[in-house]
């Protein structure tokens, strides 16, 4: 008899806060449409980390929405066609990727090579998009709620290290400040 160590580890974490998060995101006017400032933020995040993909991601009960997106070869953020194989679109199922883990954990996640972690190696983004490394941090709102994440990914293993961790956490805090300013001044 063989044992598959990943069979019980691939579940997306339960997210009891999702219904309240949806309400808060609606109050903020986020999670339903691209935000040009968040596309700019994603571009900056990609530049600072040297990663080819960067996202500002809001998560509800069923899906993830990239309100900010930057992809390789784009001098501005673009909406890519997810049916084209190795590209990322604005919407992704909740059980794809690593951001749902970040939002439930409420702390940053560094995966220099996702294949080193049985829990994460079997995620659909590995086979469908070719993701091999991930660096993400939660966006913790002034209310204490995790609204979403900022993240970068690459199709190659990346030694993000402590500097990468500090960078993603700092950039997440910067974006939370921007979200709070939007809340007070309007989009």
pLDDT digits (tens, 9 = 90+) for 62-118: 999 999 999 986 544 444 334 444 445 799 989 888 999 999 999 999 999 999 988
Q: What CATH number is given for 18-185 in this structure?
A: 3.30.450.40
Q: How far apart are CA 47 and CA 140, in angstroms?
A: 23
Please name the helix (run of DSSP H) or strand (run of DSSP E) that holds residue 177, with its range, or none: helix 161-185
pLDDT digits (tens, 9 = 90+) for 13-29: 889 999 999 999 999 99
Tokens of 80: 């890519």
Give the model's pLDDT for residue 87: 45
Please name the helix (run of DSSP H) or strand (run of DSSP E) that holds residue 167, with its range, or none: helix 161-185
Whether residue 123 contacts residue 97, with contact meaning beta carbons closer than 8 Å, is answered with: yes
CA distances to 52, 78, 99, 164 from 105, rounded to whole Å, are 25, 29, 10, 18
Q: Worst-scoring range by mean pLDDT, 35-39, 96-100, 104-108, 145-149?
A: 96-100
Q: Worst-scoring range by mean pLDDT, 37-41, 43-47, 123-127?
A: 123-127
* For the chain, domain boundaries: 18-185
Give the model's pLDDT for residue 11: 65
Q: Give bridge partners of residue 166 from the DSSP assignment.
A: none
Give the model's pLDDT for residue 88: 53
Band of residue 128 on the pLDDT scale cut at 50, 70, 90 = confident
Q: Give bridge partners of residue 23 from the DSSP assignment.
A: none
Please name the helix (run of DSSP H) or strand (run of DSSP E) that holds residue 123, with its range, or none: none
Q: How far apart are CA 16 and CA 61, in angstroms?
A: 9
Whether residue 129 contacts residue 20, with contact meaning beta carbons closer than 8 Å, is answered with: no
pLDDT digits (tens, 9 = 90+) for 161-186: 999 999 999 999 999 999 999 988 87
């Amino acid at each position: 008899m063989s044992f598959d160590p990943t069979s019980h580890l691939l579940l997306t974490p339960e997210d009891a806060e999702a219904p309240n998060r949806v309400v808060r995101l609606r109050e903020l006017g986020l999670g339903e449409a691209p935000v040009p400032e968040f596309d700019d933020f994603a571009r900056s995040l990609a530049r600072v980390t040297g990663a080819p993909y960067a996202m500002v991601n809001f998560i509800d009960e069923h899906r993830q929405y990239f309100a900010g997106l930057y992809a390789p070869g784009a001098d501005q953020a673009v909406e890519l066609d997810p049916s084209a194989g190795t590209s990322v679109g604005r919407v992704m199922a909740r059980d794809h990727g690593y951001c749902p883990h970040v939002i439930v954990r409420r702390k940053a996640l560094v995966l220099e090579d996702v294949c080193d972690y049985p829990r994460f190696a079997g995620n659909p983004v590995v086979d469908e998009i070719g993701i091999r490394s991930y660096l993400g941090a939660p966006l913790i709102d002034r209310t204490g709620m995790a609204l979403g994440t900022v993240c970068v990914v690459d199709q190659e293993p990346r030694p993000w290290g402590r500097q990468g961790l500090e960078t993603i956490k700092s950039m997440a805090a910067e974006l939370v400040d921007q979200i709070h300013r939007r809340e007070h001044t309007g989009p």
